[in-house]
Amino acid sequence: MGAVLIASASAFLRMSLVRQLKQRGDSFRTREAASATEAMRILSEGTIEIAIVDEALLAAWTEDNFAAPPGLDIKRTVLIATGSAPPLAPQIRESFLVIDGEIEGVLNMGAIASALPRALDHLAGQPRRRRVPPAAAPALPAASLRRPEIILVAASTGGPTALTCLLKRTGRSGLPIVVAQHMPADQTAGFARHLAAETGLEVAERAGGEIPPAPVVTVLRGGTDYRLDRGASGQLRLLKATCEGNVFHPSADLLFASAAESGIAALAVVLSGMGEDGARGATVLASRGGRVLVQDFASCVVAGMPAATFAACPSATVASLREIGEQVSRWTGVIRCAPDQHAGD
């Protein structure tokens, strides 16, 4: 399989589809589009062999639902029906290979994961789309930085020590802090108690529901993934979610990206850890005006997560734990505690 386009306004859906494609083990290159305009630009390059498109995006793309967009090869397109928009006209929808990705109005990644391999195997036997001359990409406005309303921290191997040092430097934050530390479910409650004892801050484990206001630090219960959402009255809340193909829990990618999708201005901090979790979500967050800080590589036990995040999101700031604490204070209005002379850099 060659180049595959994944087009959806939902970063969560795009991330899940990318993970599923990686699990197939095929040789392919993924391209992502979050808007109809971006998808059209990528298709115009003539390099896409198979397109996986969210029906909601396609419905907004077509004019009066009478025709598919120019350049979209219907024979080699998987249409994901998510139930988040009025369906296409039947004569158009029936032209695509459709996967029903929602059950009773709720996105169901399990159903998509089950049907997608068969759909891709079928499309692999269809004729390739012919190449068309490239079109100029439209200029996109640069996202302006927004004042954060929450701090999201991702960590894995080496994270507990780094997080302890960071919280000592930060003190009592003027914003709520949510920590996604890769840990089993039976260890995060003890980890929260450890952080509270080491930092003198109020730290609580949570597995969903409304996020406590500042200065409480929330540690996500391990073994589970979560989406960040805004309730009807504006309160921030955590919703349990399933991120297909994810082997690290809680998923920082999902936490970061869901904040961006919900219009929540967040400051993302990526600390020491193995793997790449947080890189994709931080990129989504930065594209919506969020700020991203990563721990300097030399001070990490394992620099995988910070390095991957910086590679994917060049606008991220690489800094020591001391400098991250100072920037958090400056950007978020921290209630400072007396400095701890034993806090690490």
Of 54, 251, 277, 299, the catalytic one is: 277
Q: Which residues pair with 153 in a beta bridge?
A: 179, 269
The Cα–Cα gap between 308 and 303 comes to 8
Task: Give the model's confidence band at 137: pLDDT under 50 very low, under 70 low, under 90 confident, else very high.
Answer: very low
- Mean pLDDT taken over the chain: 81
Boundaries of every domain in the chain:
3-124, 150-332
* Residue 214 to residue 174: CA distance in whole angstroms: 6
Q: What are 141-197's pLDDT values in tens digits? A: 334 567 889 999 999 999 999 999 999 988 888 899 999 999 999 999 999 999 999
Cα four-point dihedral sign 310, 303, 13, 41: positive
Specify which residues 5 forms β-bridges with.
Answer: 31, 51
Cβ distance 252 to 136 under 8 Å?
no
Catalytic: 229? Answer: no
Look at residue 63 in the predicted model and tell me its pLDDT: 53
Task: Read off the tokens for 192.
Answer: 């929260």
Q: Which CATH class is domain 3-124?
A: alpha beta
In degrees and rounded to multiples of 5, residue 39 shows phi and psi of: -65, -40
- The Cα 8–Cα 140 span in angstroms is 17
Q: What are 21-64's pLDDT values in tens digits?
A: 887 766 678 889 888 778 877 877 778 888 888 888 877 666 55
- State the catalytic residue, choosing from 10, 156, 173, 251: 156
Surface-to-core class of residue 287, CB atoms within 10 Å of its CB (0-12 exposed, 13-18 middle, 19+ buried)? middle
What CATH superfamily is the domain 150-332?
Methylesterase CheB, C-terminal domain (3.40.50.180)
Greatest Cα pair distance in the chain = 70
Number of CB atoms found within 10 A of residue 89's CB: 14
Percentage of the chain surpassing pLDDT 70?
78
Contact 227, 12 (CB under 8 A): yes
Helix (H) or strand (E) holding 281: helix 279-287
Q: What is the pLDDT of residues 88-127, one digit of tens each?
A: 666 667 677 888 776 555 667 777 887 888 888 877 766 5
**Residue 84: is its pLDDT beyond 80?**
no
Decide if 156 is catalytic: yes
Confidence of residue 1 (pLDDT cuts 50, 70, 90): low
Pick the catalytic residue: 182, 225, 253, 272? 182
pLDDT of 200 above 60: yes
Task: Reduce the DSSP state of residue 197 to 3 states and report it.
Answer: helix
| CA triple 202-340-211, angle to 5 deg | 20
pTM: 0.62
pLDDT of residue 230: 92
Q: What per-residue confidence (pLDDT) applies to 79?
A: 83
Cα 283–chain centre separation: 8
342 catalytically annotated:
no
